[in-house]
Amino acid sequence: MTNLKLPKAGTIEIVPSILSADFARLADEIAQVESANINMLHIDVMDGHYVPNITIGPPVVEKLRKYSRLIFDVHLMLSEPDKYYELFVKAGADHITFHAETVSEPEKIIDSLHALGVTAGLSLKPEAPVETIEKIAPLCDMIMAMTVEPGFGGQDLIEQAAKKCVQIRQIVGDRVRVEVDGGINADNAARLVSYGADTLVIGNSIFSKPDRAAAIEAIRKACISST
């Protein structure tokens, strides 16, 4: 399968995170959000070591790939992402985000991901300064600012972490997507866009609603009304 590519930077994307979905009905859950005219799906991979939670591995991504044509935006919250990123690409990931502090040479992984035909990104925990990725951020296709402590859904957005998007956007310009993940809803989405984010990862505020498509549309309208 040809890997899907990220949309051009600047276009606002609402990206449902399956961390908050019903894992017993993942195919149905994905179909519901896919009907809302979205382009991307966020998949959190946690190892119980880098973050205090365990989620899914490549076999689940491979199975889900058969049921969706969405861009699989895979976030590796792993202590050793260099051992696993290729497995996730083979399973069907279209984009891989990892944390720079977990590897000795992040530039090499970015190059390797590009050679494998997928896009690459770096993620910043809420307490991590933007300066730690300043030199390598322009090599990426997307930079993620975590707006909650990684590991669990349903947390409140950390405003100071969200404001990093302003600095990230200054560094990467208009070529690289800027992603935010955690605590996002229809009330704060527009503010995040004003900071420079164009990719909004949202779990609980979508999957806790009985009508997932309506929840996505409400967030999308909030973003549009702010531009």
Reported as a single tens digit per residue, the pLDDT across 23-33 is 999 999 999 99
Q: Point out the catalytic residue in the list 44, 73, 141, 198.
A: 44
Domain assignment present for residue 152? The answer is: yes
Q: Residue 196 belongs to what domain range? A: 13-226
44 is catalytic: yes
Q: What is the pLDDT of residues 68-110, one digit of tens each?
A: 999 999 999 999 999 999 999 999 999 999 999 999 999 999 9
Domain assignment present for residue 65? The answer is: yes
pLDDT of the residue at 1: 55
Q: Is the pLDDT of residue 226 over 60?
A: no
Segment 145-167 mean pLDDT? 90
pLDDT of the residue at 50: 85
Segment 31-59 mean pLDDT? 93
Start-end of H helices in 19-141: 26-34, 58-65, 85-91, 106-115
Distance CA 7, CA 180 (A): 16
> Over the chain, what is the mean pLDDT?
94
pLDDT of the residue at 56: 93
Instruction: Quote the tokens at residue 109.
Output: 């992984």
For residue 37, give the CATH number of its domain. Answer: 3.20.20.70
DSSP 18: G
Domain assignment present for residue 6? The answer is: no
Give bridge partners of residue 46 from the DSSP assignment. 77
Q: Point out the catalytic residue in the list 73, 94, 181, 198.
A: 181
Q: Is the pLDDT of residue 61 over 70?
A: yes
Mean pLDDT lowest among 55-59, 147-151, 175-179, 214-218: 147-151
Quick one: which of 203, 205, 207, 194 has its CA closest to 159?
194
Q: Is the pLDDT of residue 153 over 90?
A: no
pLDDT of the residue at 227: 55
List Cα–Cα distances, 95 to 147, 191, 215, in angstroms: 20, 25, 25
- What is the pTM (predicted TM-score) of this model? 0.95
Domain assignment present for residue 4? The answer is: no
What three-state secondary structure class fits 2? coil
H/E run at residue 193: helix 189-195
pLDDT of the residue at 155: 84
Q: Count the domains in the chain.
A: 1
Segment 50-57 mean pLDDT? 88
Domain assignment present for residue 82? The answer is: yes
Start-end of H helices in 73-172: 85-91, 106-115, 159-162, 164-172
82 is catalytic: no
Domain assignment present for residue 2? The answer is: no
Amino acid at 48: G
